[in-house]
Structure 1
Amino acid sequence: MDDRYSRQTLFPHIGIEGQEKIRTKHVLMIGAGALGSGNAEILTRAGIGKLTIVDRDYVEASNLQRQQLYTEEDVEAKLPKAAAAAKRLQAINSEVQIHAVITDATPEKMEDLVEGVDVIIDATDNFETRMMINDISQKHQIPWIYGGCVGSFGMSLTVIPGKTPCLNCLLKTIPIQGMTCDTGGIIAPAVQMVISHQSAEVLKILVEDWDAVRTSFVSFDLWRNQYSSMKVSKAKDSGCLSCGENRTYPYLDSENMMKSTVLCGRDTVQIRPPHQHDIHLGDLSRQLKALGYSVKGNPYLLSIEMEEQRLVIFKDGRALIHGTKDLTQAKAIYQRLLG
C-alpha cells in the first residue's frame, strides 16, 4: 500500500519528510472513551509509530452513542476499552504498534509510561487525572493536549513545557471544571470538534512544525453557535508550582490525590477529595433527578440510588459508595457524577 498516506503527504506542511517523522513517534493516550477513541483512530490512520492507550474502564451500551471504536459485541463481552480499542486499531493499520494498558493512571504508573513518549493526549473524564498529566508533562518536558467536552460545549489547550503556560497556571482564569457528561449529557458533534482540535495539534508536534502549534485556549458551544479563542501567553506564572521557578509538581504528590478507603465490615468505599470544597446539594440534586436518578436528601447530604450501588454525597465533597469494595470502581463513580 505505497499510496496509503499519499493524501497526507500531499499536504505541504507534512510531506514525505513529515510522514517519516510521524512514523517514528510515540503518542501516549490517557483515556479510551469518546476523545480517546476518536484521537486514536485518526492517529492510527495517520501512521504514527506507536500508540499507548491507558484506560481503566470497560465498554458499556451508553458509550456507543459517541465512542466510535466500539460495537455492541464489545458491550456484550464487557471488553476493557483499551483492549477493544487496540483490537480495532490493529485491524485499521497493522503497521502501528498499539500498546493497551488496562489500569488506573496513577503518578507511579505515569512515571513508567512516559519513557520515550513524544506527546501526551488528555482523553480523561476527571480533573484530578488532568492535573497529574500536567505535572508529569512538566517534569519530563513532554508536550500535552488538554481536551474536554460536555453537552454541546468543548475546549482545548496545547501545553508546551518551557514555552506556554501550563494548566495549573490557568486555573484562576479558565473554567475547566463543572458538569460531566453523566450529569450534563453530551452530543457527539461536540466530541468530534474537540478531537479535531487535539489531533491537529498532535500532528503539528509530531512533524515538529512548532510555529504552527496553537498558543491559545479555544472553546466553543455548537448548539449556541459560539466559538472563542483566548490568548494565554501572559498567564504564565513564574510562581506556579507545576511549571514555575520553584516547581514541586503538587499533583504528583499522593497527599493531593483523592483518598478512597474500604470501610471495615461494610460493603462500602469512602471517597474523600484532597481538599474540602462545598457542594451545592440543591443544584446537584436537580441535575441528577433530570437524568433519571432517584435522589433523596436533606441539608447535609444527598442519597442517590444507582443500579447496583447507592451513593451518599456530603456537602463537603466526601462520599460513601455503598455496594462495592472496589476502590477503582468507587472512584470512577464519584468522578463520573461530580467531575
Structure 2
Amino acid sequence: MEDRYSRQKLFKPIGEDGQKEIGQKHVLILGCGALGTANAENLVRAGIGKLTIIDRDYVELSNLHRQHLFTEQDAMDQIPKVIAAKRKLEAINSQVEIIAHILDATAVSLKPYLAKVDLVIDATDNFDTRFMLNDLLQQLEIPWIYGSCVGSTGMSYTILPKQTPCLHCLLNDGPPPNGATCDSVGIISPAVQMVVAHQTTEAMKLLIGAKEALRTTLVTFDLWKNHYQMINVEQAMNRACPACGMDASYPYIQYEASTKAEILCGRNTVQIRANREVHLPELANHLKKVGHVKGNDFLLSMDYQSYRLVFFQDGRTLIHGTDSIEKAKNLYYQLVG
C-alpha cells in the first residue's frame, strides 16, 4: 500500500521518526474560521494523531472566500463551523481522531479540554480571548502559537511558557481597544495563508521536538505593501509579568477581568460588559467605517444589519435585536475588535 506521508518523510528534518512523533501528538485549535480551518487541514493532511477543534459560531456566506473546508450548503444550512469542519477533515484523513466542540471558550469552559494537549494554535478573532488563553496556557505550561490577520496584514509568534516572552509581555497592558477588524476593513485570503504557513510550520517543529529550528522572532507582514519584518522580542520578557513572571497572578482568567454578557429580560437585548472603559470619540471614528453612528457625551449608537448597538463609556454595550449571547458576542467582536 502506498505511503500517504512518503513525500513528507523524504523531508530530512522530519523523516520516519518525525512522522511517528506527529502521529502521536494532540493539537487543540481554538477558533474554526480562516486560520483555524486552514491549520486544521494542514495538520490532518500531515498525519496528526489527534485534533480538537473548538468554536462557537456557524457557517455564513461571507466566510467562504477565506475559510477552508466550508461550502455554500454549509452556509445555507447554518451548520456549526466545527461540525462542518470535522466532516471535511474526516473525509481527508480517516486515520486522524478529530474531536469537535461547539463552545464559547472561557477560562472555565476551555480548561477541561486542555488535558493531555501537546500544543494549542490560536485561531481566535479577539484579544479578550487571546489574553485569557495566554494566562491559561502559561498556568498549565502548554506551548501555543499566536496568529492574527486583517486586511492584507498579519503576524505570528510562538510562545513557550517559562522560555519566551508571553503575549502579555509583548503587548504589555493590552492592545488598543478599537483595532481594525475584518468587518471594518476587510481581509484578503493570501494574508490568511501567510499566517497559517508560519503557524503550521512552527507547529510541526514543536511536534517533532525540533526546538532549535523554532523562529524566535515576532513575524509581521503587509502583503499589499510588500512589507515583511522579523522582530527580535527576547528583551520583552518581563520578570514582573502577571501572566508569566515570578509571581504570576493570571489576571485574564479571573472572573473580574472577563468580558461578561447577560440577556436583559423581556427586551430582546443582550448586555455585554467589557473589562475596560471606552474612549467614545475613538470608537466613533472606528465604527464609521462600518455604518452611521450617532452619539453624545455619554454614549454612541449605530444600526448594523437588523441590530441596534449602544455603547457606553464604562465599557457596557447593549445589543438590541437578539437574545442570543453568542450572536451578541460575535457582533461585538466583529465591530469593536
TM-score (norm 1): 0.95
CA apart distance, 1:262: 1.9
Question: Counterpart of 2:287?
Answer: 285
Question: Counterpart of 2:259?
Answer: 258
AA partner of residue 90 (structure 1) = E
Alpha-carbon spacing, 1:267–1:258, altered in 2? closer, same or farther (3 Å): same
1:313 aligns with 2:311: yes
Question: Counterpart of 1:329?
Answer: 327
User: For residues 172 and 239 of structure 1, what CA distance do their matches in structure 2 show?
Assistant: 11
CA apart distance, 1:288: 1.2
Equivalent residue runs for 1:93-108 within 5 Å = 93-108=93-108
Alpha-carbon spacing, 1:55–1:285, altered in 2? closer, same or farther (3 Å): closer
User: For residues 332 and 76 of structure 2, what CA distance do their matches in structure 1 show?
Assistant: 25
Runs of 4+ in 1 over 4 A off after TM superposition: 173-177
Alpha-carbon spacing, 1:105–1:167, altered in 2? closer, same or farther (3 Å): same
CA contact (8 A) 1:56 1:103 kept: yes
AA partner of residue 202 (structure 1) = A
Question: Counterpart of 1:64?
Answer: 64
CA contact (8 A) 2:168 2:174 kept: no
CA contact (8 A) 1:285 1:302 kept: no
CA contact (8 A) 2:29 2:53 kept: yes
Secondary structure, in 3 states, of the residue corresponding to 2:171?
A: coil
Provide the alpha-carbon RMSD of the alignment.
1.6
User: For residues 21 and 198 of structure 2, what CA distance do their matches in structure 1 show?
Assistant: 20
AA partner of residue 121 (structure 2) = I
% identical equivalent positions: 53
User: For residues 175 and 73 of structure 1, what CA distance do their matches in structure 2 show?
Assistant: 37
* Structure 2: stretches of 5+ with no match in the other structure: none
CA contact (8 A) 1:273 1:317 kept: yes
Question: Counterpart of 2:25?
Answer: 25
CA apart distance, 1:281: 3.7
CA apart distance, 1:283: 1.0
Question: Counterpart of 2:268?
Answer: 267
AA partner of residue 209 (structure 1) = A
* Structure 1: stretches of 5+ with no match in the other structure: none
Moved more, 25-34 or 244-253: 244-253
Question: Counterpart of 2:157?
Answer: 157
Question: Counterpart of 2:250?
Answer: 249
TM-score (norm 2): 0.96
Question: Counterpart of 2:75?
Answer: 75
Deviations 1:276-318 (A, max 9, x none): 23241431232113xxxx4433444332223332111234432
AA partner of residue 252 (structure 1) = I
User: For residues 236 and 2 of structure 2, what CA distance do their matches in structure 1 show?
Assistant: 46
Alpha-carbon spacing, 1:285–1:102, altered in 2? closer, same or farther (3 Å): closer
User: For residues 299 and 45 of structure 1, what CA distance do their matches in structure 2 show?
Assistant: 54
